[in-house]
Amino acid sequence: MRVVLMGPPGAGKGTQAKRLAEKFRMAHLSSGDIFRAEKAGGSALGAKLAEYMSAGKLVPDEIVVDVMAKAIRECSAGGGLLLDGFPRTVPQAQALDKQLAASRTPLDAVVVITADDEQIVRRITGRRSCPKCGRIYHTEFMPPRENNVCDDDKATLDQRADDKEDVVRQRLEAYYRQTEPVIGYYRQSNGEHVVEVDGNRAPEEVTASLIEAVSRLAGA
């Protein structure tokens, strides 16, 4: 099963992707996580990615498509695939379609998690994550048991550098201008496989709707 998870920054893609990937045994590929790992590794590519990410701008399509095509090839030997944060532009969606058509493994579902701007800003400014295992928390909505410490491995939680309010505004602008059109692209080419899920609700309610939608669309 191959699923694309879309939605504005802070909608809950990462949180929900972990749950869906586990439930349906899919490999979870997050473009943001892959880029942050590249940046942390200190490569020249990582430094280039960081320029765009810290400004809240989308990384250019040629770079994104290259990195993600390789990541998909490395993990999709017949297994399930959950793409989180990719594609984010129409040319990226076209490149993905081409790659999946060549391997005869087309998308089963495109799921969009919606969220209001006010909710997005509250979620992003309170977001914290574990540098060791990647688990996502929120200072108010999903706090760890012990203040600022990961429940699972006791590492001190991090705040992402691009989760500051001025960068968040840039990212939202990029979403509405460059990423929302991707939903239209999929509706046109693959309309029956697209579904929107209201992400303004409690995490468990969102998870239940996502599981229902993916099961239905993918015939799982």
Q: Which is nearer to ligand ADP, 65 or 78 (CB)?
A: 65
- What are the residues whose beta carbons fall under 8 Å from the beta carbon of 100, sequence distance 6 or more? 2, 106, 107
Span 66-95, contacts to ligand ADP by CB under 6 A: 85-88, 92
Q: Which is nearer to ligand ADP, 192 or 205 (CB)?
A: 205
Check residue 7 for interaction with ligand ADP (CB under 6 A): yes
User: Residue 15 CB, nearest distance to ligand ADP (Å)?
Assistant: 3
Token pair for 193: 């496989």
Active site residues: 13, 88, 127, 160, 171
As a whole number of angstroms, the distance between CA 83 and CA 188 comes to: 20
Check residue 15 for interaction with ligand ADP (CB under 6 A): yes
User: Residue 142 CB, nearest distance to ligand ADP (Å)?
Assistant: 4
Burial code (b: 16+ CB inside 10 Å, e: under 16) for 32-52 equals: bbbbbebbeeeeeebebbbeb
User: How crowded is residue 67: how many other Cβ atoms within 10 Å of its Cβ?
Assistant: 18
Helix 117-125 vs helix 165-174: crossing angle, to nearest 10 = 130
Site residues, ligand ADP (CB under 6 A):
7, 9-15, 31-32, 35, 52-53, 56-59, 64, 85-88, 92, 123, 126-127, 136-138, 141-142, 162, 171, 202-203, 206
